[in-house]
Amino acid sequence: MAGGRHDLIQRQFSDGYEQEGALEGWTQRYAQMGPGPYHGEVRRLSLGDVKVTREAINVAVEQRTSPPAGRSVFVQSLRQAAAWRMNAEAITPESSCFIAGGEEFHAAMPAGCDIIFVEYDDPHKQMEGPSVRPVSAVSAGLETYAVANWLLSLLMAFPEAGAGMNEMASFLPAMITDRLSYLRNLGRGPLQTSSPSQTDWAVFRLVRDHFDGAGPDPLSVADVCRQIDLPEQVVRQAFINAVGRGPGSWMRDQRLNGARRDLLDRDNRASVSEVAVRWGFWHLGRFSRYYSDLFGELPSQTGMRSAPAPERARRAGLDI
């Protein structure tokens, strides 16, 4: 039997901004939403068109992610205590989920998340109409854990298996695809065209898109609710259900993540104080405190770490 195509990569990251480019063909944007220095790891095994990935991140993050169009993605948490949300859909530790490529998803991941996911072409996927939700939770109990543990064993054992894996790589893709197709059909229930989570996701996305287009001036929750014509209580509840927190702190941390991106951008020529003002933080001491509470370092440390040596002192600006 001829050997199959396979490749294994392992990478570690000190910032979500760096980790966004870890998955070839995916469009991703990460925002750190929990306190502390960031540490992420990605281990990715490519078996032709089937790609098995383990991703672990130590702090809470949000991810806007879009898998390649036309592909199916199976996702399973490896930590039973780490519940998370996908488009406001609660994914319990006992559940897996399948998501459709070509769609944008919003994942709210808790601190210490450790997930395994598989990107593949599902030849047995039933024809689905546009009314079917793009996030399909599967509660298949022990079978989901059995599949996830089998995938994890493949991912971890591959570099130790030597030349024997060349032969295994020729038939593993079909085995993986068949198991995932079976699992998806096993957990498939009645099709749902609407749910409370879809309403929460629609409200969250409306606020998020409004926030993205609002420019640098910070908005209050009342301002946003008035501009989109929704009651504050509806918006707050949607945020709790979608990301596990209120909209005010969410908007502030989004601006902090924007400032961090600028400070990590090697082409950025602005000082720390200029970056702070650009993102609507007029009180520099308060900006420094918020920033260090979230990222575990001062903004000046971020600026000096990312800048070329001749620019470090100037980019640091004030010692904040």
Give me the residue spans of the domains in the chain: 7-186, 196-316
CA distance 46 to 34: 31
Q: Is the per-residue pLDDT at 172 higher than 70?
A: yes
- Reported as a pLDDT band with limits 50, 70 and 90, residue 195 is low
**CATH 2.60.120.10 given to domain 7-186:** yes
For the chain, count helices (H), then strands (E): 11, 12
Bin 283: left if φ > 0, else alpha if -120 < ψ < 50, else beta. Answer: beta
pTM of the predicted structure, to 2 decimals:
0.85
Q: Dihedral sign for Cα 215, 219, 221, 227, please.
A: negative
**CATH 1.10.10.60 given to domain 196-316:** yes
- Reported as a pLDDT band with limits 50, 70 and 90, residue 240 is very high
More confident residue, 88 or 125: 88
Bin 289: left if φ > 0, else alpha if -120 < ψ < 50, else beta. Answer: alpha
Q: Is the per-residue pLDDT at 148 higher than 60?
A: yes
Task: Give the SS3 label for residue 215.
Answer: coil
For 208-238, how does the pLDDT look when each residue is reduced to its tens digit (9 = 90+)? 999 888 776 778 899 999 999 999 999 999 9
Q: Is the per-residue pLDDT at 141 higher than 90?
A: no
Sheet holding 105-109, edge to edge: 27-32, 61-66, 105-109, 84-86, 89-91
Q: Cα 250 from chain centroid? A: 15
